[in-house]
Structure 1
């Protein structure tokens, strides 16, 4: 089934350039605060449940080399 709606591409620049966008972001940055970073802790395997991997995906992952090889 095809989508009968055709969307025209939007213009690349509506009201300014990249410098203008960066300026807008710099002015808004003080209004947004990032949460304090919490230290990530390992999760014990006993708390991980409900994850299932299809056999084809498990074979694919098993065939991949370890990261950093």
Structure 2
């Protein structure tokens, strides 16, 4: 059997909304490290060819009622 215990005392909300997702992210941010500042410059329009999304990601979003309906 899988151990579903986590280090956080908050229960997992599998049917949560955006607010619960933001709360989960806020609790995880201390574990993330920020990358070093990288200077960016504009990309020439000639290099932009659209956005490509992996099929599995597209199917995942399609299955979510907020995006697929």
Higher RCO (C-alpha 8 Å, min separation 6): 2
TM-score interval (norm. to shorter): 0.3 to 0.5
Task: State the structure with more CA Rg.
Answer: 1
Quick check: which one's helix share is greater? 2
TM-score by length of 1: 0.33
